[in-house]
Structure 1
Amino acid sequence: MNKKILSISSKRQITIPQKFYQTLGFGDEAECVMRGNELIIRPVKTAAGGEFAEQILAELIAEGLSGEELLSKFKEKQVQIRPAVESMLSDAENAAQGKGEFATYDDVFGTED
């Protein structure tokens, strides 16, 4: 594990070490997430959910949507992807640590009923 102690300025600012910045691919923005008693700082993924775009579109077209209605529903669904994936990853992390109600891989990543 790479670890470095960071100083916090009087304005509550930190500097990301160059090695971490380059390795993780930071740009002009960072996402800050509080998880339990930890603060996670990571690069902003601008195309979050993009890998599911084709599947989302196929499902919406199969529902008979087109035009503005298709575009509106697509945007609505795409925004839901990242929180859903983060929730699954959090559940998986809890399961790996023996926390939570999950016991198997299928419990965490299984198909919806």
Structure 2
Amino acid sequence: MEWKRARVSQKRQVTIPQKLFEQAGIKDEVEFGIKGRNIIMRPVRENIGNDYFGDLILADLIQEGYKEQELLTKFRERQAELHGAVKTLIAESVQTARDYNGTDDETDELFGDVMGD
């Protein structure tokens, strides 16, 4: 893991080194967590089940001829399928990360909140 040092301003502001900013894939927002005395910062994860994928699902269902209540029912079914597929993909990624570095601690810190339920 690469470490960079940054000053904290009187307003508690920190400038993220550009290289780390880019490697982390930060866009407009970050979220913070704390574990012991360590602050964890990561890019905000967008809810994959909404917006873009929702639009694609809806477009497909309309093209397939669904309307009214049946459209809503089918949309919810497909959205649930997508949610399950994403959770499976995350689980597989977490297992790959654990196999790679041989520890669960860091992986759980990064992905624990999206693995629940």
Q: Give TM-score, length-normalised by structure 1.
A: 0.44
The TM-score, its normalising length taken from structure 2, stands at 0.43
Higher helix share: 2
